[in-house]
Amino acid sequence: MSRITIAVNGTPQTREVEDRTLLVQFIREHLGLTGTHVGCDTSQCGACTIHLDGVAVKSCTVLAVAADGSQVTTIEGLAEGGRLHDVQQAFREHHGLQCGYCTPGMIMASVDMIRRHDGMLDEHTVRHELEGNICRCTGYHNIVKAVLDAAEKHRAAHAVAAE
Amino acid sequence: MYATTYHKPKTLAEAVELYVNSDEPSYLSGGHTLIPTLKSRLAAPAHLIDLRNIPELSGIEVTTDRVIIGAAAKHAVVAASKEVKAAIPALSGLAGSIGDVQVRHMGTIGGSTANNDPAADYPAAVLSLDAVIHTDRREIPAADYFQGLYTTALEPGEILVRIEFRIPEVAGYAKFRNPASRYSMAAAFVSKHRDGHIRVAITGAGNEGVFRWIEAEELLTANFSAEALEGLTIDASRMMGDMHAPADYRAHLVAVMTSRAVQNLGGTHIL
């Protein structure tokens, strides 16, 4: 057992965990934040994607104890004061989901993608960059539209900020 | 996953001491092979020794003729390095083609090279770029390092610290991936070195892991163009055969990927 502290969505969380505890188990079972999903449990599907120290990772393939002292953002940490994050809003407007199971991972991967590309994305790049996230319902069509829309908002917001 | 005890040493000496004094230890880096293996209960180390906090394993340095990458460097960091891209664009592109974005944010060059998965990308670059493997106790030339599937010259407890690549005159990397797993089914890293030597390293296909394709090197030495490789085939009995691709198909892919690497020098060609 180890005593670890991980700042999840800005709040330091200290727990005693078995060393074999996966980060996704820590998030879901120890903290009760069940927005992060477990799909394949083999680091293929991306449903468990969260941000670890600012970058998208698959939390089913990280030990919680190895994340001791880190900052984690989950899907629950994106909205601010009841206002959905632009990527969440875009998924809602473009119906970028069907059953919704992959959606938290898709959104966390998309937020990371838009940040890394500073919003400069085209359809080809979005489809390529989502290769670590699997959706079995939508054919990705509306997901890609949502990401492109959110990327455009990101560019516009940063253009305003730069003026 | 079976119960295990996690350790986070801060020095090489501390890591080796933990290894030597533990019953059934294993080193851990990015964990993107090891943790799935543990979850499947295919391995059950009693002690996991995380190497990522040891300063000697971090950092990237580029000199006039060498690219030196710390073992804990993540694939995404190697792929994003402007210095690596300027020196060896094919190596940069290779790093950016591993797995997917999330995997590249965790997986490390040292972990990949120490594991020596027969479908891993980095071993092809290590062999083709005539790299030197620096460990906590010695230097190992790439030619002596790879010793078959998942097998390397690393001794029990030996730590891969950094990899020193020779900067070639030009290099190219071509890969044909399995559409589901994204692992290579055949990939070729072709380098022409400043001393004129040409090295063709094949990964993903050989039944003994990464290897140099000497016949291709000889033809390319006489004429460094894809035309020189026309008609060259590789013996399918040297290839892996599995549910993803039979050996004769892999043999065909090896020849095609080697040509594509030569046609895409200064970059990558990823299918």
Q: Does residue A162 register a pLDDT over 80?
A: no
**Residue A52 to chain B, least CA–CA distance (Å):** 9
Give residue limits of the domains in chain A: 2-75, 86-162
Q: State the pTM of this model.
A: 0.95
Q: Where residue B119 sits, what CATH number does that domain have? A: 3.30.465.10
Domain count, chain B: 3
In this structure, the answer to whether residues B161 and B184 fall within a common structural domain is no
Nearest-5° angle of CA B14, CA B18, CA B24? 155
In our burial notation (b when 16+ CB lie closer than 10 A, e otherwise), range B82-103 reads: eebbebbbbbbbbbbbbbbbbb
Q: Does residue A161 register a pLDDT over 80?
A: no
Q: Does residue A51 register a pLDDT over 70?
A: yes
Task: Give the pLDDT of residue A71.
Answer: 98
What are the backbone angles phi and psi of residue B225, rounded to the nearest 5°?
A: -155, 160
A2-75 CATH fold: Ubiquitin-like (UB roll) (3.10.20)
Mean pLDDT of A22-37: 98
Residues in chain B within 8 Å Cβ distance of A19: 3-6, 48
A86-162 CATH fold: DNA polymerase; domain 1 (1.10.150)
A57 and B105: CB-CB below 8 Å?
yes
- Smallest Cα–Cα separation from A79: which of A108, A102, A100, A53? A108
- Smallest Cα–Cα separation from A65: which of A28, A10, A26, A30? A26
B102 and A109: CB-CB below 8 Å?
yes
In this structure, the answer to whether residues B60 and B161 fall within a common structural domain is yes
Contact B176, B256 (CB under 8 A): yes
**Domain termination residue (choose one: B166, B192, B219):** B166
Task: Give the pLDDT of residue A138.
Answer: 86
In this structure, the answer to whether residues B176 and B152 fall within a common structural domain is no
ipTM of the complex: 0.95
B101 and A42: CB-CB below 8 Å?
no
The dihedral through the CA atoms of B76, B79, B80, B83 has a sign that is positive
Task: Give the pLDDT of residue B17.
Answer: 98
- % of residues, chain A, pLDDT over 90: 92
Nearest CA in chain A to B38: A20
- Smallest Cα–Cα separation from A44: which of A138, A146, A135? A135
| pLDDT profile of chain B (271 residues), mean per 10 | 97 98 97 95 96 97 98 98 98 97 98 96 98 98 97 98 98 94 93 97 97 98 97 96 94 98 95 92
Give residue B154's domain range.
56-166
Looking at chain A, how many residues does it have? 163
Task: Give the pLDDT of residue A163.
Answer: 63
A61 and B8: CB-CB below 8 Å?
no
Task: Give the pLDDT of residue A158.
Answer: 85
The DSSP element (H or E) to which A113 belongs, if any, is: helix A103-116
